[in-house]
Amino acid sequence: MLTLADVAFDDVAALLARYDLRLERVADGETIPGSYWGDSEAGLIGSTVYARGDTPVHSLLHEAGHLIVLPPERRAAVHTDATDSVAEEDAVCVLQTLLGDAIPGAGRERILADMDAWGYSFRLGSARAYVEQDAESAWQWLAEHGLVRMPERTLIF
């Protein structure tokens, strides 16, 4: 599993800053504030994503994705759980893979593999199959919210 310690913190922080988010490093062994899953999983409070060195990058990107899809005025109320709907959750699963490509040393392929290793479950059996063959409504949701360019399926920064 690729962790925050395996990539440059500044690269991840810069990516999140493009979306007016802040990345806060939590000391090793400390509890991650706003973590829905606990353990090493990333946390959310307001416009800040919290992560330790052992936080999986896919987790950090997933939680950041929840904040990215929210209008800035709604971010302030977020604490731990940002999911608004199944459609949003589906879109965030796609978005986190795209964000992986923006981090040197990560990439979409690694994020997809780590999602599978973590235990994400999709109808077609893998994160890759979901993103490539079963996520049309998620892609449309992201496009309608101004986050991806269609039909290229690329991020809009």
pLDDT at residue 157 in the model: 83
Q: Are strands 154-155 and 22-25 parallel, antiparallel or unpaired?
A: unpaired
Return the bridge partners of 79, or none.
45
Alpha-carbon dihedral of residues 106, 109, 113, 115, nearest 10 degrees?
Answer: 70
Give average pLDDT by consecutive 10-residue segment, the chain, 157 residues. Answer: 98 97 97 95 97 98 95 90 86 96 96 91 84 93 96 91
Distances (CA, A) of 61 to 9, 81, 124, 142, 146: 13, 14, 22, 15, 18
Show Cβ contacts of residue 114 under 8 Å, excluding neighbours closer than 6 positions: 1, 2, 56, 57, 58
